[in-house]
Structure formats: structure tokens, C-alpha cells
Structure 1
Amino acid sequence: MNGVNSHHHKPSFSPSSKAMAPGNHHRYPQVKSPLRRQVHAPSPLRKFGLSALPKQSRCSKQQVSGDNGLVVERKTLDLVLDCRTDREVIDVDEDDEVDYVEVISDDDDDDEVEIVENVVVDMDVEEESEKEVSLDDGNKKNGSFMVVDEKSSLPVTDVCSFEAYRKALKSAENRTSKLKARGFGDVLRDRCRGLLRSLRFFFIRDQEPVEDVGREPFKSLSKEDVAKVKHAFSANAQNILVTHENSNIDITVEKLRCLKPGQWLNDEVINLYLVLLKEREAREPKKFIKCHFFNTFFFTKLVQSGTGYNYSAVRRWTSMKKLGYHLIDCDKIFIPIHMSIHWTLAVINVKERKFQYLDSFKGREPKILDALARYFADEVRDKNEVEVDVSQWRQEFVQVLPEQRNGFDCGMFMLKYMDFYSRGLDLCFTQEHMPYFRVRTAKEILQLRAE
């Protein structure tokens, strides 16, 4: 009966008793401690002269003072261990970072704690700059550094700390130099520029669209424009297509046909186009630089075949009444040069104080630039009563320029040199653009308006 009664007896509830009762161990397991993770720290090396600090019961700041006065603040981990093992096991959270590990020494001779710094080599230089560093030659002892605790003020020599700091700093410097060598800064700048371009729409969507000046010389031609040029080429040769009243230049079908592929440009087409370039500048002075365009007969008058240099022959060409400005006020002055069967270009670059010569075959003619230097000095003296020392100006035979690949496009190259320079652009065209430029020039002449 006692056995039956004891079997039906309901025991009183006691959490502690249930946890400790052997029979209930499978029903009420004990609470396990958190998972433990091994943290490895270097063993203390006494042969390097490492001494120790007394045990501390909590985290404290330590100041590392070197032989040269190096002072570094750091934190040590508050750990109290009763025995020493070769591998210490410490409970840490997953998110915690262990920068310093305290290794306990339980030698019989002395009860000391050795502090060894576990430094991550890939630390940022900015973190290192937060440490206070000072140098003092008076603290130097046998090439070691002084470690001073704020509370106990006990000095400890610790060479490993300074060496680890030096290696970490050198590693950061090497990493920075490698990034620079790999062009990391350029890649970052390109990405930033791409981001700014992508955001550009949000900042200028309320503004009027700005036309790209660099694309204007290559603006596409409409089908109507191309058809009009073809019709003009096929008309009666003696028909006058357009007449420019101010310059008194007539363009007939026969003269316009020099713009067809494989033809040499004539004086009338070149001179009319230069007049249109000047009118374009007058319409939009803020868009084009201030230039003067001499016609194809100027240089042959200035330097005559029989008498040589003759300023009086062209003195009236540039009067204020005729031009409305002085040549010295221009940025660039363009002079077409006709050499028997070849067209080249000479430029008096007033703004940059130099004389330039452009030949699509990369030829050099120093005598042409000498004559123009003499002319400019005479012109400024005559019109402005100013002496200009052109001997200090530079002569430049432009070699980085689009080159001619055939025997008939020299005139088009000369016109486009002037067109691009008057826009303030570099010469960014090639021989492949010449068929397009021929049709476009014919279209602009037919409408008496350069674009």
C-alpha cells in the first residue's frame, strides 16, 4: 500500500529540486553557459626583457611611454584567471573586437601579469592618429619603451608594442601607395563624375538646354539640304546661284562645282566663305572669338613677286572706316596663302603673341612668317602709333594638326583650320570628314550664312 500511495503522491514543485534531482535530469536540463570561443594570444617572452604588471580586477587605461618619450593610451581587457595554460579561452560576443589580450603568468617566483598587445595590421591610419605620441630622449633605456599604469605608475618595458605600431603604420602607407599605383583615385573620380552627370538632369531640367559647341562643326545635314546642293551642282554652269552684295561676289554653278569631291577650291568660293565666317562672328560675338579674315589676294599684294615686301600696297585694306576695328584688337588674324597649286594658312595670333603656319602637308615656310611679323609691326605703328617688338614673338609651325591624304583637299583643310580656330576649338577633324565638309560648305554658301 505504501508503494501504491507513494506512486500516486504528487510531489511539491521546487525548481531547484527538480533541477538537481537525478531522476528529473532528462526533463529539466540545466542552463548551459554561452558558447565559448578560443582567443589566441602570444605567449610572454621573457628573453626580450618583458616584465609584468600586477593583476587588475577591471578594465583600465594604460599609458605606453617610450624611451624617446612615446606616450600611447590603450585599454587592457579585465580578465582574472586562476591558472595559466598555453591557450586561454575567453567568452566574447560575436560583435566584440579584441584588440588587446591579457596573458596571466603564474610563476612561483612572482605573481605578475604580462600585457601583450594583439594589434591588427590592417588598421586605419586615422585610428593611429588618435593616439598621443611624444618623443623624449631622456627615457631611453637599452632600446626599450616605458609602459606606465595610471593608478600604480609602475614602469614596464614593452618593445613589442612600438614595433607593432611601426609595422601597422608602414603597412597602411604601403597600402595607400599601392592604391595610387593602381589608379584607385582616378577610378573614384570617374565614378563621381558619372554620378554627377546622372544627377545633372535634376538640377537643370527647368533651364533651357545648352547646345554642345563641340558638335556644331559636325551638325548633321538634312535630306533637303543635300538635295539642294546636288541640284545646284547639276544646273547650268553659267547660272548665278547667289550674290553677296557687301563683298560683291557672285557664285555661279561653275564656281560652286569646285566643292564637288576631287576638285580644287577657287578664290571666289574661299573668299565668300571667309566673309560668311566674319558675319557669323558679328551675329554672335560671345560665341566666337574676335578674328579678322584677309582674302586670298592679300599676301600676294603684301609680298609681290617682283618687288618683295610692300606695306604701302595693302595699307588701305585695314582702315577704321572700312573695318570698324583695328587689327591689334583682334585675337587672331587669318591669312590664306596660295603657293602655286597648294593652299596653306598663316595666323597672326595676337592673343598668344606668336605667328603660326599650318600646312596640311606639314610644310615650313619661315619667310612667310617673317613677312607677316614685319607687316604687323608696320600696321600697328601706322594705325595705332604703337611700337610692337615682334622679335619677342614666337614662330610656330603647327605639326599636331589634321593631315591631307590626297592631292586636292588642301583648300578645304585651310578653310576648316580657320573655322575651328575661330570657334576656339582644337583641330579635331580628319581626312574622312572632307566629303561632309564640302557639302556643308556648299550649303552654307547657297544660304549665304555660315553656321
Structure 2
Amino acid sequence: MDGMSSYHKRSARLNLCENSSFSHSSRAMAPGNYRYPEVRSPLRRQVHAPSRILKSGLSARTGQVGRDRSTRQVSGNGFGADFLTRNYDMVRRDALDFSIPYRTDREMFDVDDECGDVEMIHSDTSMECVENVAMEVDEVEEKADMGSEVVNLKNRSLMVGDGSQANSSLVLNRPVTDVSSYEAYRKVLESAKDRTSKLKDRGFGGYLKERSRALLRRFFSFWKRDEEPAEDVQREAFLPLSREEETAVKRVFLANDSNILVAHKNSNIDITGEILRCLRPGEWLNDEVINLYLVLLKDREAREPKKFLKCHFFNTFFFTKLVNSGTGYNYGAVRRWTSMKRLGYHLKDCDKIFIPIHMNIHWTLAVINIKDRKFQYLDSFKGREPKILDALARYFVDEVNDKSEVDLDVSGWRQEFVQDLPMQRNGFDCGMFMLKYIDFYSRGLELCFTQEQMPYFRDRTAKEILQLKAE
């Protein structure tokens, strides 16, 4: 070739190019009959998987380049193929022992159809659910013999041991605090289930899945908690009267004084037209109406015990018997009022005990709140009577000691003079306020009524007395 002229050289290069173009055209015309494959650029795709970071700071791709270069002969300063091969082997060994960091921004859960509303757990509000799942797994795992597979999430790394007692401490001993760790833990358990006979016999993986699903359902049901029962109870406290009921109430308010409108056999209380007229606007409530209404509240509780608190309602004569103006405190005067034969229960088993208090011309209410361990006093004028609560505390200790032979200590109970309550703005609704304090507390409701609703409550109380049924 060196002796060839420039003309022959150019002719040789031209023939070479023509042969090359011919081969390309032949390749296009008859695919598959060519020697060298056509180079195609791969599609770029985003990889949704953890990217391993080597201890030396080199990525996997960099290690691959180093391996390719190790096959080349490098001259000069002694960095040849042997050195690069040893370096690559060392990096590879270190990478296998190095903990693998995981990204948490793309972790997802595949939840079964039974949890239809759940597609992904990735928010801060779901962290509590994942922690609960992890803690439940911890409890099960401590009780079960894991066999040959144990898991360690210390420093956010996974490790599979030989199941010996030395490695038993590696089993989860603290709650998992991030979603990715829990997901990784679940995957290891799933793989361990297939490889370990003991876990397969116990069905631990299936138990974990079912338990996790149940906890997830419980967690998300919290956000869908139905508040309708509480709303129903409050709505029932303000049910409007129908036109027929309003007409009946107005008619009985005009009845003759001596006519017996209704009689309650168990309490021996008869309600005449004169007695019932105390429920008209501007009138003071009398003992008969108050005591019959309290009996109806107790009948309501017995009719629907799950809907109302367990209460006892003393009548208007109890406190005047307990604390006589002449003799003072006298438990013996009321000792037989609460016998088991008479009531069918002990007072200490109640949630609340209501005691109407009549102070000359004013009605107030005292409550022995056993459920919250306190003595309460409610006055529609926000008055305070510590002596009344002191007497009731002494009575309750004597009552429990007499009926149950237990020395009850109420020194830690609070005395509360309720201030956040509806206030009376006239001189005749104190008895009606007292009855509604009792009604709402026995329902487990806050005192959410006002002075403006007193005319409605008067008509409703009259209707309930005529029907002998509190609603």
C-alpha cells in the first residue's frame, strides 16, 4: 500500500465506501441476514427502586466502568489490570456488608380490596397506624419462636441471622418509626415464610397480614366515626310538640282544680288540674310535679338502660329529712330509703345521684357524681352552699358503710360549684332549671339550653306527665 499512487489510494477508499454502503442497503432489504446487529438506544425509564451506594462513594455504574478498564493494559506508573481488579473486588466485598439506605418518598402499600378506601400510606397522620402495626408484630414475635430467620432494623438495616439464642435479641425490640422500615420488615417476613418450615407451619405470615389489615381498618374507621348517636340524644332533648300535643296541654291547663288528670300507681302520686297548672308560664313548680317527673326519669332509664346513665333520683323531701333544721344531720332518718329490697341496687353502683334542694322559695340541685368522683352544686343563680355538699359527702360515706360495710374515703373527691351553666333571668323558673339540669345530666349531655327555652320545657314536661312517660 505504501508504494501505491495517490490515485490508486483514492480508488481503493472509494471502493471500500461503496462496499460499505452496499452492505447497509442489503441489511435494510433482508433483515436478519447481516453480520453485525443494528445499535439501538435503550428507552429511558425511571427506576422505582432503592439505589445502592457503595462504601467507597462509587456507584454501581462507576464500578462497572472500572471493571471494563481493568482489562486494558495501562503503562507508566504501575496501575495495571491486577491493581484495578483487586480494587474492584475489595469495593464489591465492602458493598455487600454495607447497610443499604432506602428512599421513603416512593414507598407504597398494596392494600387488599377489603380496605377499599386505602390506597397509599404516606402522610403524617398514618404514622401512628404503622407504629401500632409494628408494635402488634413485636408482641406476636416475642411470643413465637422465629426459627432460623430473625430481623434487625437497627440503623435502618436488614439482617438475617441463624436463629440462635445469641441472635434472638435482634428480633424487633422497639416500634418501627417509619413506613419504609415496616414495609421492608413485612417483605422479609414474607420471604422467610417460604424458606422456614416453622414459620410456614405456624402460618405467621398470614397472621401478620390479617392482623395488619384489621389494625388498618380500625385506624381508618376512627376518621369515619359516626357522631349520629350523640346528635340523636341531643335532638331528643328538644323534640318539638305536635299540634295535637300542644292543644292537649292547653286544655288541661284549663281543667277543674279537683279533677285527677293522671295517677302514678308505683309512686302513689295523683296529678290534679290545680297541681299541673304550676307548669304554666310564671308559676312556681310544686313538689308533686317535680317528684313525679323524677320517677318518670327513672322509668326512662329502666326502659332504655344502654341509652342513659345509671342514676338515682331522690325526691324533694330527702334532704330536709337528712338535715333537719332542728336536729341537724341525721342519717338514721333516711337509712331505710335506699334498702336493696326497695331499690334493687346499691347507690355506690350508680353513676350519679341527684338530690333536689329547696331553700325557702328557691330550687337548687346537688349531685353525688360517683362517675367523676366529685360533689356538685348547681344553682341557676350561681349560688354556693358548701354545707350542703359537706352533708352529702358524710351521707354517702355512711350509706356505703351501712349497705356494703366498706369504709369509703372521699377526702380526694372535689367539691364543684358549677359556674358554666344556663342561668335564670326571672323569679319563677328555678324549679324548671333544676329539672332540666337533672334531665340533661342523666342523658350524659352538657347543659346546652337557655332561658328562652323554658316555655317549651314547661309544655313538654306537662305532656310527659300526662302520658306518664319521659322522653
- Answer yes or no: same fold by TM over 0.5: yes
- Once residues 240 and 287 of structure 2 are traced to their aligned partners in structure 1, the CA distance between those partners, rounded to angstroms, is 27
Displacement after TM superposition at 1:286 (Å) = 2.2
Tell me how far apart the structure 2 counterparts of residues 308 and 197 of structure 1 sit (CA, whole Å).
52
Distance 1:210 1:411 in 2: 27
2 CA distance for matches of 1:355 and 1:132? 66
Q: Does 1:215 align with 2:235?
A: yes
- Percent of counterpart pairs with the same letter? 72
The ranges of structure 1 where at least 4 consecutive aligned residues each deviate by more than 4 angstroms after the TM superposition are 96-99, 129-134, 145-148, 195-198
Does residue 364 of structure 1 match 2:364?
no
Q: Which runs of 5+ in 2 are unaligned?
A: 1-38, 68-103, 105-122, 125-219
Partners of 1:372 and 1:329 in 2: CA distance: 17
More helix by share: 2
Q: Separation in 2 of the partners of 1:407 and 1:281?
A: 31
Counterparts in 2 of 1:272 and 1:152: CA distance versus 1, 3 Å: same
Equivalent position to 1:420, from 426, 430, 440? 440
Verify: 1:297 aligned to 2:210, yes or no: no
> Which residue in 1 is equivalent to 2:246?
226
Change (3 A) 1:326 1:152: same
| Counterpart position of 2:65 | 152
| Code of the aligned partner of 2:325 | S
Matches within 5 A, 1:362-401: 362-401=382-421
3-state DSSP of counterpart to 1:333: strand
Structure 1 match to 2:34: none
Asked whether the equivalents of residues 322 and 330 of structure 2 are also in contact (C-alpha less than 8 Å), the reply is yes
State the shift of 1:297 in Å: 0.9
- Which consecutive residues of structure 1, in runs of 5 or more, have no partner in the other structure? 1-57, 60-77, 80-91, 100-126, 140-144, 155-168, 170-178, 181-191, 201-208
**How far apart in 2 are the matches of 1:430 and 1:97?**
68
Q: Is the contact between residue 52 and residue 59 of structure 2 (CA under 8 Å) also seen in structure 1?
A: no
2 CA distance for matches of 1:304 and 1:235? 37
Which letter does structure 2 place at the counterpart of 1:439? D
The reply on whether 1:278 has 2:191 as its aligned counterpart is no
Q: How many residues align?
A: 285
Deviations 1:350-394 (A, max 9, x none): 222221111222222211111101000001111111111011222
Instruction: Determine the C-alpha separation between the residues in 1 that align with 2:236 and 2:279.
Output: 20
The alpha-carbon distance between structure 1 residues 398 and 130, as it changes in their structure 2 partners (threshold 3 A), is: farther
Q: Deviations over 1:287-339 (max 9, x none)?
A: 22211100011111111112211111111111122212211121111000112
From the superposition, tell whether residues 196 and 366 of structure 1 become closer, same or farther in structure 2 (CA, over 3 Å).
Answer: closer
The answer on 1:253 being equivalent to 2:273 is yes
Which one of the candidate residues 314, 328, 338 is aligned to 2:334? Answer: 314
2:261 is matched with 241
Q: What amino acid is aligned across from residue 398 of structure 1 in structure 2?
A: V
Q: Residue 322 of structure 1 aligns to which amino acid in structure 2?
A: R
SS of structure 1 residue aligned to 2:345: coil
Mapped to 1, the partners of 2:279 and 2:341 lie a distance apart of 34
Structure 1 position 197, deviation (Å): 9.8
Query: Partner amino acid for 1:151?
Result: Q
Structure 1 residue 437: Cα displacement: 0.7
Change (3 A) 1:98 1:339: same
> Relative to total residues, which structure has the larger strand share, 1 or 2?
1
Query: Counterpart of 1:118?
Result: none
Q: Sort the Cα spacing of 1:196 and 1:346 in 2 relative to 1 into closer, same or farther, 3 A.
A: closer
- Shift of the 436–310 alpha-carbon distance from structure 1 to 2, 3 Å rule, reads same
Are 1:329 and 2:349 an aligned pair? yes
User: Secondary structure of the residue that 1:258 maps to in structure 2?
Assistant: helix
Provide the secondary structure at the position in 2 that maps to 1:371: helix
Q: Distance in 2 between matches of 1:279 and 1:197?
A: 31
Cα deviation, residue 405, structure 1 = 2.5
Classify 1:133/1:252 alpha carbon distance in 2 versus 1 (closer, same or farther; 3 Å). Answer: farther
* 1:427-446 equivalence runs, <5 A: 427-446=447-466
2:115 maps to: none
| Amino acid across the alignment from 1:448 | L
Alpha-carbon distance between aligned partners in 1 of 2:290 and 2:401, rounded to the nearest angstrom: 30
Structure 2 contact 363–431 (Cα < 8 Å) conserved: yes
Q: Could you tell me how far 1:211 is from its partner in structure 2?
A: 9.4
CA RMSD of aligned residues (A): 3.6
| Cα offset, 1:256, TM superposition | 1.0
Deviations 1:19-43 (A, max 9, x none): xxxxxxxxxxxxxxxxxxxxxxxxx
Partner Cα separation in structure 1 for residue 446 and residue 231 of structure 2: 18
User: 1:196 offset after TM fit, Å?
Assistant: 6.4
State yes or no: 1:347 paired with 2:260.
Answer: no
Q: 2:371 corresponds to which letter in structure 1?
A: K
Residue by residue over 1:105-158, the C-alpha shift from the partner in whole angstroms, topping out at 9 and shown as x without a partner, is: xxxxxxxxxxxxxxxxxxxxxx8x945568x7xx7xxxxx8778233349xxxx
* Greater RCO (CA < 8 Å, at least 6 residues apart): 1
**SS at 1:212's partner residue?**
helix
* Contact 2:53/2:59, CA 8 A, preserved across alignment: no
2:367 match: secondary structure: strand
* Candidates 423, 429, 433, aligned match of 1:403: 423
State how far apart, in whole Å, the 1-side matches of 2:366 and 2:312 are.
Answer: 12
Once the two structures are TM-superposed, the CA of residue 427 in structure 1 deviates from its matched residue by 1.9
Query: What is the rounded CA distance, in whole Å, between the counterparts of 2:419 and 2:425 in structure 1?
Result: 15
